[in-house]
């Protein structure tokens, strides 16, 4: 008889996940993905027309590691000022031999931390070594997780943040532990920046190539539908474009599909040494998020949970 599934709350996930171990596991997982060692169909989306949203199903199997997992995530395009959550995610970890559920855990912290950790891996691989200025566009959940991991992993001299309202940028500044400069325009925030993170819910371009310093690295995290954009054509065409999944990007990313930009490599190709990291050029990492990232994060949470609960 299989053990009954454990339920791990958002608060517990938060206390069990650390960026240092998470980034190590994610880097290995990205390499495995690009070597074809992960079974991961492109996410299935079910439109929730009445609620202006989608349900995304993200199943993944890593046979070598015995990890079977699926994330269920609902995401919504909310009206401005809405207090309803714009995403809700749950991660289910299964036993691949018996098909039984091992754990059901909140997926919000996992989504926030794994997405930010993968962007940080992209910066580690693609930004210039002398990078000093980080700009974050957006002040929501992803902005906060990106701030946390980027300031933990790198030593930027300045971190800037932009939001549509000055209020939100200032609120973000007060919510973090380190220094942040709030900016009133995107142009002001990205001027001279070495690394730019876009974590908005924009559906039209918000970052324009003419403002981006040559040689900068952009981690583009929002716009995960084929007709949504965060970056303009100039930036997409001038930059060397990397992604987490080539198949995902050419199916789901409006920035890639609508600009007609070519995807140069997956991050896993760089990790595996089969494609170069063009640090000297302007680079875009187009992040769509992958089931394998949730799977290794959930496995890490479960490992930590077992270790904690087996202590006398
Ligand atoms: N690639 C991945 O793996 C992955 C994973 C999770 C999420 N995402 C994507 O990341 C993005 C951010 O997610 P989140 O969870 O941080 O969302 P969030 O908490 O709702 O924050 C969204 C941010 O975008 C801003 N924003 C919304 N509409 C905008 C517009 N038209 N122009 C400029 N800014 C706008 C919001 O500003 P206000 O406060 O002014 O509304 C807020 O700062 C979303 O697009 C989400 O789909 C990607």
6-110+292-310: which CATH number, 3.50.50.60, 3.10.20.600, 3.30.1780.10, 3.40.50.880? 3.30.1780.10
pLDDT of residue 310: 85
- Domain locations along the chain: 6-110+292-310, 114-289
Band of residue 78 on the pLDDT scale cut at 50, 70, 90: confident
Which atom of ligand 1 lies nearest, measured to the CA of 224? 47
Residue 222 CA to residue 76 CA, distance in Å, equals: 13
> Is 146 close to ligand 1, i.e. is its CB under 6 Å away?
no
- 243-257 per-residue burial string, b: 16 or more CB within 10 A, e: under 16: bbbbebbeebbbbbb
* DSSP one-letter code for 231: B
* DSSP one-letter code for 136: E
pLDDT of residue 186: 98
Name, in order, each residue with C-beta under 8 angstroms of 306's C-beta and a sequence gap of 6 or more.
none
Say how far residue 71 (Cα) sits from the centre of its chain. 14
Residue 206 CA to residue 211 CA, distance in Å, equals: 11
pLDDT of residue 217: 98
Condensed to tens digits (0 to 9), the pLDDT of residues 89-100 reads 999 999 999 999
> Over 70: is that where the pLDDT of 26 sits?
yes
The pairing of strands 158-162 and 181-183 is parallel
Distance 186 CA to ligand 1 centre (A): 15
Residue minimizing CA distance to atom 13 of ligand 1: 142
> Over 80: is that where the pLDDT of 1 sits?
no
> Is 289 close to ligand 1, i.e. is its CB under 6 Å away?
yes
Residue 223 CA to residue 236 CA, distance in Å, equals: 14
> Is 139 close to ligand 1, i.e. is its CB under 6 Å away?
yes
The closest alpha carbon to 241, from 285, 192, 307, belongs to 285
Which atom of ligand 1 lies nearest, measured to the CA of 293? 3
> Over 90: is that where the pLDDT of 125 sits?
yes
Q: Are 274 and 284 in contact (CB under 8 A)?
A: no
> Is 201 close to ligand 1, i.e. is its CB under 6 Å away?
yes
Q: Are 135 and 128 in contact (CB under 8 A)?
A: no
Residue minimizing CA distance to atom 38 of ligand 1: 164
Q: Quick one: 114-289 is in which CATH superfamily?
A: NAD(P)-binding Rossmann-like Domain (3.40.50.720)
Say how far residue 72 (Cα) sits from the centre of its chain. 16
User: Is 55 exposed, middle or buried (CB count within 10 Å of its CB: 0-12, 13-18, 19+)?
Assistant: middle
Residue range 56-63: average pLDDT? Answer: 97
Q: What is the pTM of this model?
A: 0.96
Q: What is the mean pLDDT of the chain?
A: 96
Distance 77 CA to ligand 1 centre (A): 10
């Amino acid at each position: 008889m299989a053990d009954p599934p454990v339920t791990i709350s958002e608060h517990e996930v938060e206390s069990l996940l650390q960026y240092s171990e998470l980034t190590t596991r994610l880097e290995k997982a990205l390499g495995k993905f690009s070597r074809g060692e992960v079974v991961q169909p492109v996410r299935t989306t079910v439109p929730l027309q009445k609620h202006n949203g989608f349900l995304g199903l993200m199943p993944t199997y890593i046979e070598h590691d015995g990890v079977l997992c699926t994330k269920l995530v609902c995401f919504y395009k909310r009206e401005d000022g809405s207090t309803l959550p714009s995403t809700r995610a749950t991660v289910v970890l299964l036993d691949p031999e018996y098909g039984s559920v091992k754990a059901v855990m909140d997926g919000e912290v996992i989504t926030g931390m794994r997405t930010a950790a993968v962007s940080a891996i992209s910066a580690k691989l693609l930004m210039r070594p002398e990078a000093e200025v980080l700009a974050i566009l957006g002040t929501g959940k992803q902005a906060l997780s990106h701030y946390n991991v980027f300031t933990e992993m790198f030593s930027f001299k300045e971190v800037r943040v932009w939001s549509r309202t000055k209020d939100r940028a200032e609120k973000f500044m007060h919510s973090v532990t380190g220094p942040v400069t709030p900016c009133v325009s995107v142009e002001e925030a990205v001027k001279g920046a070495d690394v730019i993170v876009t974590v908005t819910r924009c559906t039209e371009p918000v970052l324009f190539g003419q403002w981006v310093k040559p040689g900068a690295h952009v981690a583009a995290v929002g716009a995960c539908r084929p007709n949504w954009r965060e970056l303009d054509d100039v930036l997409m065409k001038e930059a060397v474009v990397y992604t987490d999944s080539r198949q995902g990007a050419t199916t789901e990313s409006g920035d890639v599909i609508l600009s007609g930009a070519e995807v140069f490599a997956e991050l896993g190709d760089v990790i595996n040494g089969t494609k170069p990291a063009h640090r000297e050029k302007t680079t875009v990492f187009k992040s769509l998020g992958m089931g394998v990232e949730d799977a290794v994060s959930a496995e890490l949470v479960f490992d930590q949970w077992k270790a904690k609960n087996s202590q006398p």
